[in-house]
Amino acid sequence: MVGSKADAKQLAAATSVSKNKPPKIKPDLKRAALAPSATLFLFGAAGDLVKRLLMPALCNLRRDGLIDDSLRIVGVDHNPRSDGEYADSLRDFIRDEIKNQKLDPKLWGKLAKRISYLQGDFLADATYQGIAARIKEASSGNAVFYLATAPRFFGDVVECLGKAALLQETRSAFRRVIIEKPFGSDLASAQQLNTRILNVMNEKQVYRMDHFLGKETVQNILVSRFANGIFEAIWNHHYIDHIQITAAETVGVEQRGSFYENTGALRDMVPNHLMQLLAMVAMEPPSAFAADAVRDEKAKLLGAIRPTMPDEAIANSARGQYTAAKIDGRQVLAYRSEDKVERSSETETFVALKLMIDNWRWVGMPFYLRTGKRLSARDTEIAICFKPAPYAQFRGTKIRQLKPNYLIMQIQPNEGLWLDFHAKRPGPTVEIADVDMGFSYADAFELQPSTGYETLIYDCLIGDQTLFQRADAIESGWRAVQPFLDAWAKGEGAVEGYAAGSAGPKGADELLAREKRSWHSLG
């Protein structure tokens, strides 16, 4: 019995909480150290990457109190403009073009004071003399050079930085370089780029960017695997039948026809994004959650991918290219009709691969990777398909064979973790229904708008390389896909058309059907 009004209020509050969803968990920012004073040089300052992703990320880091007024931002590009003109152009773009980014005038005012601009050719000595002068003017000798440029400039810019002695570190000043993808276009070019970079700086200074790794749900793969005892015992080929990794997009090549013609779906997505997801879902537990320990295990895993023999490359892959179709009543162009695309192009906009990993945990168990444009749903996920129960013990019912259970790690959209399983359908007879239970990031956590670059920029500033790719891992990723590129270069494995808005070419389905498997449905 309630003895007082206070007791009554307390009981009412408790009852109210129990009837409603628990409050969302807020991010814990207090434990994160403030990034040290530094100058951040943005090469390619006028490009889309800086305007659309990097500057909003820096705004968010300032909002969260992870950087302060000691961080100076210098845009470097060839077009003439003043400091004020550059800062205003960034502000206007974020305010007018980034829909989910609220630009706090007070916050922006503080950040804008730290933004300046340096006009210069990426290959001219005078540009690097100007950079040296900007560092000398700063209160700290720390500098980060972010190469948000076309890939052809990566090696040249790093060598110019080295020639100008801008990569030399001291006990009191660090020098770091962030390099965007794509890192090479095949194994040979990736090896060559690594050689050029490591000739003028050491691996500890190189931060090879893969923005997928900045997503909370990607980082959650390691936490889900290694912080929950229920998973480790069954995380192997004894209980898992196969694993699928998917990165599906509904958009076409948009305005990137020229880029895509020289790249294709495999080069664009597989050696970087999908290989990183593969490494995180399949690596061995690291000895500690420190950069070297995590990156060691990733490199071991990628190095254990079984080499695909030339005669296996076509059998273990499928290529597709989207064709014209109507989607939601709107006519969509075929890839070959897109701007700056060859009308007889054989570039793939979809690729599916089968890979094997030769270690004790995964021996004999396939991994299937697929990625494509103009598909039926936007869906980046890892689908872990468990072996079905060995025997359907339901005599006298319609049940003859049980379907496998899936654990879905959803990267985007609707980020979360989902497990589907079987349950009895209500009623007098035994019938099985497929049900699921899951965890949604949006329901459980209070999420702030982000671009995915916040964590990665912050980690570089504090010197944490955990989420950045190492030279050996980059090369292992390219080594795994090189046999497919070689086979296609010889004219083998024709590109198969698939209707825009579909799930991809028939060849991708046949890749799994040959072993009595099927893709987890998109969306």
What's the pLDDT tens digit per position in 362-402?
999 999 999 999 999 999 999 999 998 776 566 666 666 67
Question: In sequence order, which residues have a C-beta less than 8 Å from that of residue 485 and are 6 or more positions away?
Answer: 186, 266, 267
pLDDT of residue 428: 83
Q: How confident is the model at residue 60 (pLDDT cuts 50, 70, 90)?
A: very high
Nearest alpha carbon to residue 43 among 179, 142, 214 = 179
Beta partners for residue 147, in sequence order: 43, 179
Helix (H, G, I), strand (E, B) or coil at 425: coil
Q: Does residue 326 surpass a pLDDT of 60?
A: yes
Using the predicted structure, report yes or no on whether residue 347 has a pLDDT greater than 70: yes
Q: Calculate ∠ Cα 377-381-383, nearest 5°.
A: 115
Q: Which of 140-144, 320-324, 489-493, 497-501 has the lowest mean pLDDT?
A: 489-493
Torsion angle, alpha carbons of 7, 9, 15, 21, to 10: -130
| b/e burial code for range 96-108 (CB count within 10 A of at least 16 → b) | eebeebeeeeeeb
- Helices and strands per DSSP (H, E), number in the chain: 19, 17
Threshold 0.85, pTM exceeds = yes
**8 A C-beta contact, residue 457 and residue 54:** yes
Q: In the prediction, which pLDDT does 11 show?
A: 39
Residue-wise burial string across 448-475, b where 16 or more C-beta atoms lie within 10 A, e elsewhere: eebbbbbbbbbbbbeeebbbbbbbbbbb
Closest C-alpha to 367, from 270, 447, 432:
270
Cα–Cα dist 58/454, whole Å: 7
The secondary structure of residue 274, as a DSSP letter, is: I
Q: Give the pLDDT confidence of 167-211 residue by residue, as tens digits.
A: 999 999 999 999 998 899 999 999 999 999 999 999 999 999 988
The end-to-end CA distance of the chain, in Å, is: 51
Tokens representing 502 are: 């579909």
The 3-class secondary structure across 327-339, one letter per residue, is ECCEEECCHHHCC
Which pLDDT belongs to residue 29? 64
The predicted structure's pLDDT at residue 33: 87
Residue 229: count other Cβ atoms within 10 Å of its Cβ.
Answer: 7
Q: 493-496: which pairs have CB atoms within 8 A and are 24 or more residues apart? A: 493/313, 493/314, 493/317, 493/319, 494/319, 494/346, 495/319, 495/320, 495/321, 495/346, 495/347, 495/348, 496/318, 496/319, 496/320, 496/321
Q: Which pair of structure tokens corresponds to residue 429?
A: 């007879």
Instruction: Report residue 215's pLDDT band, with 50, 70 and 90 as the boundaries.
Output: confident
Lowest-confidence range among 139-153, 245-259, 416-430, 476-490? 416-430
Place of tokens 């570089």: 460
Evaluate the CA torsion angle 386, 392, 394, 399 in order and state its sign.
positive
pLDDT digits (tens, 9 = 90+) for 480-500: 999 999 999 999 989 999 999
pLDDT of residue 26: 67
Please give the average per-residue pLDDT across 257-265, as a whole number: 92
pLDDT at 399: 63
pLDDT at 17: 41
pLDDT at 158 over 80: yes
Strand ordering across the sheet containing 350-356: 432-440, 416-424, 406-412, 379-386, 240-248, 366-372, 350-356, 317-323, 496-499
Residue 318 to residue 185: CA distance in whole angstroms: 20
* pLDDT at residue 178, rounded to an integer: 98
SS (HEC) of 349-407: CEEEEEEEECCCCCCCCEEEEEEECCECCCEEEEEEEECCCCCCCCCCCCCCCCCCCEE
> pLDDT grade, residue 2 (50/70/90)?
very low
Q: Which domains does the chain have, with CATH numbers?
A: 38-180 (3.40.50.720), 213-391+472-512 (3.30.360.10)
**Beta strand 175-179 pairing with 143-147:** parallel
Q: Three-state DSSP class for 40?
A: strand
* Structure tokens given for 520: 């987890």
What percent of the chain clears pLDDT 90, i.e. is strictly above it? Answer: 72
Mean pLDDT of the chain: 90
DSSP-derived pairing of the beta strands 432-440 and 350-356? unpaired
Give the model confidence (pLDDT) of 407-451 as tens digits. 999 998 888 899 998 888 888 877 787 888 988 888 887 777 788
Mean pLDDT of 349-369: 98
Question: What amino acid positions are annotated as catalytic residues?
Answer: 273
User: Would you say residue 8 has pLDDT above 60?
Assistant: no
pLDDT in tens, 76-133: 999 999 999 999 999 999 988 887 778 888 989 999 999 999 999 999 999 999 999 9
Q: Give the pLDDT score at 523.
A: 84
* Bridge partner residues of 27 (DSSP): none
